[in-house]
Chain A
Amino acid sequence: MQPSIRVDPDPAVQYVLRIGDTCLILGQRLGEWCGHAPVLEEDIAMANMALDLVGQARALLTHAGQMSGQGYDEDQLAFLRDERDYRNLTLVELPRGDFAFTVVRNAMVAGFLRHLWAALQSSNDAELAAIAGKAIKEARYHQQHAADWIVRLGDGTDESRRRTEAALAAAWLYMPEFFDSDAVDDAAADMGLGPRWADLRAAWLADMTAILDEAGLAMPAEAAFRSTGKRGVHSEHMGYVLTEMQYLQRAYPGGVW
């Protein structure tokens, strides 16, 4: 079996991995809808968005590998790390849930990524700025797609409303982690690599307020709970999603199409 790799703890590399891993794991979760979405057209939409996210993850992991100077490529970083070395937001690793949970999560994460990409377009890391310039178009679409569905479901039938409220309550628990800035953010901001994530909060909250108002849904209160996926301490679901993702590369090292 292929042994695990360890990645440089350098804050700049960690900052990029947080974004790349968030895209990677959400892409994996969205891909689980393939063949299972409620209608054919949405099945294709979910797969499209999953592929957008995997594309973003590929670019970011490739870049993180180059930044670290350890010679790891995108595949090694995606498939050969241990759970604690993944830096994604906890929200994206949760099971895909029902369709309401998926669109609520997508709205939260896509909105966050959109504001992050907007700020990263002026990163002094030219590669990161270029990745952001491409990805922001995709994130804008993901956010709009999810927002449209939240409005339809929130303002729909009793059942769709009940499910959307439940999804919102469940996902909102993991929101504070988005904006919980730490030494990695400080280092990234100081070196001009990217924004402190806490600085994105106001713009993100304005987006969510507009979506929830239109859907007639109340914004949940912020919980005291703090998830910590971006620091490598994940929920119990992370091991399972990694097992599925990593199996092939671990069993058949270097396997390609």
Chain B
Amino acid sequence: MSENRLEEAGQAKDPRQPVDPAAAEWPLWEVFVRSKAGLDHKHCGSLHATDARMAIQMARDVYTRRQEGSSVWVVRSDQIVASDPADKDMYFDPAEDKVYRHPTFYVLPKAVDHM
């Protein structure tokens, strides 16, 4: 669902053009939740909110009800710059036959265990 919403946001109107506020939908926000200190914030979904303060409050209510979080980030979806799906072949396929880029071929010294 969040991917579809992202695409919708990508087609948002030019922000420089005046919009009728009554007709405008609340902006979309992407929500990132950190489950505990030391771990990274993970994307967990999206929601609509009028402003950043409301987005944080709603993220708390919608995505941390079962003790999922100790910290929440929200980002306006239209602020995310995404790669073009049409570039997928040239961007990502060339990595397919470069298995040597995985570090599994190298023997690590014992001192650097758990790399």
Contacts and interface: CB of A to CB of B under 8 A. Distances in A.
B28 to A, nearest CB: 12
A144 B62 CA distance: 17
B58 A45 contact: yes
B65 A41 contact: no
Nearest to B65: A48
Interface string A18-43: 00000000000000000000011110
Among all A-B residue pairs, the 10 with the closest Cβ atoms = A41-B58, A45-B61, A44-B61, A48-B61, A41-B47, A44-B62, A41-B62, A145-B57, A148-B53, A48-B65
A44 B61 CA distance: 6
Interface of A: 39-42, 44-45, 48, 144-145, 148, 152
A54 B8 CA distance: 39
Interface of B: 26, 47-50, 53-54, 57-58, 61-62, 65
Nearest to A51: B65
20 contacts: A39-B26, A39-B48, A41-B47, A41-B49, A41-B61, A41-B62, A42-B58, A44-B61, A44-B62, A44-B65, A45-B57, A45-B58, A45-B61, A48-B61, A48-B65, A144-B57, A145-B57, A148-B57, A152-B50, A152-B54
Contacts of A39: 26, 48
B68 to A, nearest CB: 13
Given A44-B61, A45-B57, A148-B53, 14 more contacts: A39-B26, A39-B48, A41-B47, A41-B48, A44-B65, A45-B58, A45-B61, A48-B61, A48-B65, A144-B57, A145-B57, A148-B54, A148-B57, A152-B50
**Secondary structure of the A contact surface, majority rule:** helix
A42 B55 CA distance: 11
Contacts of B50: 152
A4 B113 CA distance: 69
Nearest to A149: B54
A4 B104 CA distance: 73
B48 to A, nearest CB: 7
A145 B49 CA distance: 14
Contacts of B65: 44, 48
Contacts of B53: 148
